[in-house]
Structure 1
Amino acid sequence: MENLKVLIVEDELIIAEDMQMMLEQLGYSVTGIAISYTEAIKILEFELPDIVMVDINLKGKETGIDLARTINERFEIPFIFITSNMDRMTIDEAKLTQPSSYLLKPFKAQHLYAAIEVALSNTSEGQKQENKEPDENAHLIKDSLFVKKNHHFVKIKIEDIYYIKADGNYLEIICEEEKFLIRSTLKNFMNRLPVSDFFQTHKSYIVNLNFVEALSSNYVLILEEEVPLSRNSREMLLERTQRFS
């Protein structure tokens, strides 16, 4: 588990530094501040953040919209446009890049927090599945799950999840040192996990096969916990892998 990482791309340093202070107070990590398209690309290539704050009106040959296009083409991570005002032509051009959210200057910490939450929600996979409202406290994006903890989002790599337990419309996500509760059905969540690593052992359990320590007739052992294993699932598991044969 790690804090959500943010890159700030803003050519007014006072605004950028204020934004960094707000983000850090909210519990997020800032990977860097870039004042131009070129600087932003260098930072993105060195350390990929989870989200980028992009000033639309960057000074120089390449604008924030140019950077947004490159982010979409090369990095495929969510970004938030920052702006004080835009003419109609700029608005139409910005919309084509499909930003995850917008943030209007001047702004306060709560506006920044709301923009990030909207961006994660808009980027999250499977939000409209099963015709139900998305969980405002958890968002699955690419290979990571972003879960709200102490009023900010933390990042959990999917590969670090040990197993998942269903309880009605909620799931308990078990990692090495912590547990997280999110709103989702087991079926919906399973459909968004890598098939090669995760396996449903029981109507209420999904396990990460990389952490299975042992297999018995009615359970698999993970973290010294006996996770239930149904008869049909056991047969499927034995067919799928030779490690337990």
Structure 2
Amino acid sequence: MKKNILIVEDELLIAEDIKYNLERLNYNVSGIAIRASEALTILENNSVDLALLDINIKGELDGIELGRKIRSLYPMPIVYLTSNSDKRTVERAVETEPSGYVVKPYNKTDLFTTLTLALHNSDKNEKPQEKQSTQGKGKSVFFKVEGTYTKVLFDNILFFRTAGNYIEIHKIGGVDLVRMTVKELFEHVASGNFLRVHKSYILNRDKITGFNGKEVFIGDRKFPMGGVYKDEVFQVLDVN
């Protein structure tokens, strides 16, 4: 399955050159952004496995601050691409725990090697060590939302989305944000009926309306299927 790369680069000729080379290397480019706001919109609406970020982008956030924000919202690797290799820039970049750092003008071989290693290590860390599904007969659970324990019916939950140390609870009628790890979430909803289909998405199995080898559907909403979860998805949904 092709990996999806987001390119954030405000020099469009360079961005298009990177896109061309990545596609020749059998990657899919989810989008090109020249500002942080555009990058976040692409991330919100597309499947992205890795973000390739130029540090010196225009706008309120530079590439490093964008990288910090991405790391807080999405469990994906980031790689910096920049002409700046001074000590302070590197120190700021290191604070965001990137998976790689490529200095411009970039070398295609170095870029390919850096992305390949970053994605390989991400897949390795993503590989589940335990079952990523629950199958119980509970009807509800309490979540602490803005300081108050709130009862949520399992039947009203569509899916969970991981966001760093937080979990978004997407329900019929709205979204709640709770501070919780994925491991804690699975322990918390053990009596429910949920299935992890991607590093970022855990779906209510009763709401799933269809799937194929790449995506899972809840009505018109599409969710990417992570390769390391595919076997369990097919097994849990009883597909031979």
Contact 1:143 1:157 in 2 (8 A): no
Give the Cα–Cα distance (whole angstroms) in 2 for the partners of residues 111 and 95 of structure 1: 19
Aligned to 1:31: 30
Aligned-residue sequence identity (percent) comes to: 38
Give the Cα–Cα distance (whole angstroms) in 2 for the partners of residues 60 and 210 of structure 1: 45
Aligned to 2:237: 210
Give the Cα–Cα distance (whole angstroms) in 2 for the partners of residues 50 and 4 of structure 1: 6
Q: What are the equivalent positions in structure 2 for 1:220-239 lying under 5 Å apart?
A: 222=240
Corresponding position: 1:160 with 2:187: no
Report the Cα offset of residue 156 of structure 1. Answer: 5.3
In structure 2, do the counterparts of structure 1 residues 210 and 159 end up closer, same or farther at CA, with 3 Å as the change threshold?
Answer: farther
Aligned to 1:96: 95
The amino acid across from 2:199 in the alignment is K
Q: How many residues align?
A: 147
Give the Cα–Cα distance (whole angstroms) in 1 for the partners of residues 109 and 87 of structure 2: 27
Contact 2:10 2:57 in 1 (8 A): yes
**TM-align CA RMSD:** 2.6
Give the Cα–Cα distance (whole angstroms) in 2 for the partners of residues 33 and 142 of structure 1: 23
3-state SS in 2 of match to 1:211: coil
Aligned to 1:62: 61
Report the Cα offset of residue 121 of structure 1. Answer: 3.4
Of the structure 1 ranges 116-125 and 17-26, higher mean CA displacement relative to structure 2 is found in 116-125
3-state SS in 2 of match to 1:41: helix
Gaps of 5+ in 2: 130-197, 202-224
Give the Cα–Cα distance (whole angstroms) in 1 for the partners of residues 67 and 94 of structure 2: 10
Q: What are the equivalent positions in structure 2 for 1:123-202 lying under 5 Å apart?
A: 123=122, 124-125=124-125, 142=199, 157-161=227-231, 197=232
3-state SS in 2 of match to 1:116: helix
3-state SS in 2 of match to 1:77: coil
Contact 2:15 2:32 in 1 (8 A): yes
Q: What are the equivalent positions in structure 2 for 1:10-25 lying under 5 Å apart?
A: 10-25=9-24
Deviations along 1:70-96, one digit per CA (max 9) or x if unpaired, are 111112211110011232111111100
Report the Cα offset of residue 160 of structure 1. Answer: 2.6
Deviations along 1:148-171, one digit per CA (max 9) or x if unpaired, are xxxxxxx8533432xxxxxxxxxx
TM-score between both structures, scaled by the size of structure 2: 0.55
Give the Cα–Cα distance (whole angstroms) in 2 for the partners of residues 85 and 71 of structure 1: 21
Deviations along 1:179-223, one digit per CA (max 9) or x if unpaired, are xxxxxxxxxxxxxxxxxx58xxxxxxxx934336xxxxxxxxx4x
In structure 2, do the counterparts of structure 1 residues 20 and 126 end up closer, same or farther at CA, with 3 Å as the change threshold?
Answer: closer
The amino acid across from 2:5 in the alignment is V
Report the Cα offset of residue 54 of structure 1. Answer: 0.3
Aligned to 1:53: 52
Report the Cα offset of residue 126 of structure 1. Answer: 7.7
3-state SS in 2 of match to 1:8: strand
3-state SS in 1 of match to 2:79: strand
Give the Cα–Cα distance (whole angstroms) in 2 for the partners of residues 7 and 60 of structure 1: 18
